[in-house]
Homo-oligomer: A and B are copies of this chain.
Amino acid sequence: MSLVVEKFGGTSVGSVDRINAVADKLIERQAKGEKLVVVVSAMSGETNRLIGLAKEITQQPSAREMDVLVSTGEQVTIALLSMALHKRGNDARSYTGGQVSIRTDNVYSKARIQNIDAERIQTDLEKGRIVVIAGFQGIDEFGNITTLGRGGSDTTAVAVAAAINADECRIYTDVDGIYTTDPRVVPTAKRLEKITVEEMLELASLGAKVLQTRSVEFAGKYKVPLRVLSSFKEGLGTLIVYEDEDASMEAPLISGIAFQRDEAKLTIRGIPDHPGVAHQVLGPISDAHINVDVIIQNASAKGLTDLTFTVPRADYQACLGILDTLVADLGAKDIKGDDKIAKLSIVGVGMRSHSGVANKMFKTLADNDINIQMISTSEIKVSVIVEESKLDKAVESLHKAFDLEN
């Protein structure tokens, strides 16, 4: 009898009808011999409704009270889903994060799970109950309510799966798996049956926002077999695997192409070069809570250096403002900026054992007359910055060149 954790997000439980549909599915699964723990999010729209109420009171609500407020969203869902399961004959039990001791640190609104008490869950499972757990929330050591940040229900599901040593953790989403790239850009994009956790992490952080990055990290740490699948469409989705478990896997050269539009690039030129320049420039950017992504520093002639970096396009103007004041302080020459760029990455564990992958990428882009503005690499990924208007063509040509459609 396999033990499975299933997670349904806000859209999947967004109405009474949807909740009934989830209950039908669960009862069907249980009849097939699965022991089930279900993690659910707030009904879609509910979290925003609650945040709206808070914002009517104050523009800067305390993080502690915000967590007390928004955690009610999942609590409503667990009660309703349990009722729907009762109606179908299962003696389901609902639990808030606190009730199954999902113990977190006390960083409100982005707490991290430290521990889960699996005993209560296991007792219920032994009685044939489906256990329904509120995602996204926990309690700190003093019993304060915490939340894990948006998308944190994925992390709850993975953490519960690890705690009860589940055979599989299934995350239901609005896509039916992980694709070689976005099918809206490349219609021949193919669903991957399997992907390694490292590739998944690169893809998740690069804009293929199917799973919360932290949940994937968590799954990797505890080697939880994790499957992403659609809550609206039948299918097996994509299974996230761990290399050492599946060393024989014939790894393709690359697994997928991720991209991110809405990027911007800034260059501060002619800075007198001395140790600490990067820190002097990027420190104030970081202090303004702006995430810097790709960074390149070039030593130029005469003891001067240029520093180029990318940020989300929404932060472009703020960055320009910060750099304006820095130019004089640093004795730099000038600033250049471009807010019409995009980032494109090829990801694959196959790169480790195959040379020439990056070169093939560069050649393909050159053949298609696409200029590379910046390059950044990791062990299993090559990212380039290109003109935004050339992005779609770049993705298409790479998808074909790396033979991802077959």
Contacts and interface: CB of A to CB of B under 8 A. Distances in A.
Interface of A: 16, 19-20, 50, 53-54, 56-58, 61-62, 64-66, 68-69, 71-72, 75-76, 78-80, 82-84, 86-87, 93-94, 96, 98-99, 143-145
Contacts of A71: 75
A83 B98 contact: no
A72 B77 CA distance: 11
A75 B98 CA distance: 14
A56 B86 contact: no
B66 A84 contact: no
Nearest to A49: B76
Contacts of A64: 93-94
A82 B94 contact: no
A76 B87 contact: no
A76 B83 contact: no
26 contacts: A16-B53, A16-B57, A20-B57, A53-B76, A54-B80, A58-B84, A61-B83, A61-B86, A62-B83, A62-B86, A64-B94, A65-B83, A65-B86, A66-B79, A68-B78, A68-B94, A69-B75, A69-B76, A69-B79, A69-B80, A71-B75, A72-B72, A72-B75, A72-B76, A98-B98, A99-B145
A53 B80 contact: yes
A53 B94 CA distance: 16
Minimum-distance CB pairs A-B, first 6: A69-B79, A72-B72, A68-B79, A16-B56, A58-B87, A65-B79
A179 to B, nearest CB: 35
A71 B78 CA distance: 13
A117 to B, nearest CB: 11
Given A98-B98, A99-B143, A79 B58 contact: no
Given A19-B57, A72-B76, 8 more contacts: A53-B76, A58-B83, A65-B82, A68-B82, A72-B72, A75-B75, A98-B98, A99-B143
A97 to B, nearest CB: 12
Contacts of A58: 83-84, 86-87
Nearest to A143: B99
Contacts of A75: 68-69, 71-72, 75
Contacts of A96: 68, 145
A62 B80 CA distance: 10
B56 A82 contact: no
A71 B50 CA distance: 15
Contacts of A72: 72, 75-76
A80 B55 CA distance: 10
Contacts of A82: 62, 65, 68
A48 to B, nearest CB: 14
Most B-side CB within 10 Å, residue of A19, A58, A69, A83: A83
Nearest to A92: B65
Contacts of A80: 53-54, 57, 65, 69
Contacts of A56: 16
A50 B79 CA distance: 10
A96 B71 CA distance: 12
A245 B27 CA distance: 61
Contacts of A69: 75-76, 79-80
A10 to B, nearest CB: 15
